[in-house]
């Protein structure tokens, strides 16, 4: 598999509206827009940084993965996303290597990207997302 770059860093927040100002007014990033991904039960807000982005994640449902994370750990880094060349091929390769996957097939993420998660227990406690 080939990782092309860090696509984004996902940060879980209680509220995008309340959390956004630190990234724009204090750190000078530009708010690029917001999107709700119903399947993931999150609303995302993107702030480009060079070739990567900061992604704020606010849960839309109390049983969603981001709500569970916030309940357990509070606000903070939720996942790191790597842009890959061929996500289906990358998942196949990882599966063959016996790496624990959350998604064996890609699903639809923000911006119409294909995304898939590896289990944090397989990657030193860090939730890793692949996207294309
Ligand atoms: N980072 C690191 N560890 C995490 C984690 C995260 N984001 N989310 C959960 N975990 C850990 C938990 O702390 C727990 O560890 P312990 O067993 O040591 O307590 C373990 O993973 C299992 O967690 P859980 O609470 O028992 O199980 P969940 O039902 O919360 O499932 C996970 C965890 C990772 C499978 C689930 O959150 C998931 O499927 N995540 C992928 C989807 C996702 O996060 N989508 C939101 C992002 C949307 C986007 O970017 O588009």
Spell out the domains of the chain, with CATH numbers in brackets.
Answer: 3-131 (3.10.180.10)
- pLDDT band (50, 70, 90) for residue 110: confident
Q: What is the mean pLDDT of residues 107-123?
A: 94
- For the chain, give the mean pLDDT: 97
Q: What is the mean pLDDT of residues 90-112?
A: 95
pLDDT at 111: 86
> Between residues 62 and 111, which one has the greater pLDDT?
62
Mutation test of ligand 1: which of 81, 127, 129, 130 has the most ligand atoms closer than 8 Å to its C-beta? 127
Which atom of ligand 1 is nearest the CA belonging to 68?
30
HEC string for the chain:
CCEEEEEEEEEECCCHHHHHHHHHHHCCCCCCEEEEEHHHCEEEEEEEECCEEEEEEEECCCCCHHHHHHHHHCCEEEEEEEEECCHHHHHHHHHHCCCCECCCCCEECHHHCEEEEECHHHCCCCCEEEEC
Q: What is the mean pLDDT of residues 120-124?
A: 97
The fraction of the chain above a pLDDT of 90, given in percent, is 96
- pLDDT band (50, 70, 90) for residue 9: very high
**Residue 43: pLDDT over 90:** yes
**If you take atom 19 of ligand 1, which residue's CA is the nearest one?**
72
Which atom of ligand 1 is nearest the CA belonging to 73?
13
pTM of the model: 0.95
Q: What is the mean pLDDT of residues 36-63?
A: 96
Q: What is the mean pLDDT of residues 75-98?
A: 98
**Residue 107: pLDDT over 90:** yes
Ligand 1 centroid from CA 69, angstroms: 7
């Amino acid at each position: 598999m080939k990782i092309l770059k860090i696509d984004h860093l996902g940060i879980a927040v209680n509220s995008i509206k309340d959390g956004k100002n630190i990234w724009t007014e204090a750190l000078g990033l530009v708010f690029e827009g917001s999107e709700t991904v119903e399947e993931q039960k999150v609303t995302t807000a993107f702030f480009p940084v060079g070739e990567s982005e900061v992604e704020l994640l606010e849960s839309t449902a109390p049983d969603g993965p981001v709500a569970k994370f916030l309940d357990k750990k509070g606000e903070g880094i939720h996942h790191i996303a790597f842009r890959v060349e061929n996500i289906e091929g990358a998942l196949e390769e990882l599966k063959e290597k016996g790496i624990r996957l959350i998604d064996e097939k890609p699903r639809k993420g923000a911006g119409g990207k294909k995304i898939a998660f590896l289990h944090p227990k397989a990657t030193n406690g860090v939730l890793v997302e692949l996207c294309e």
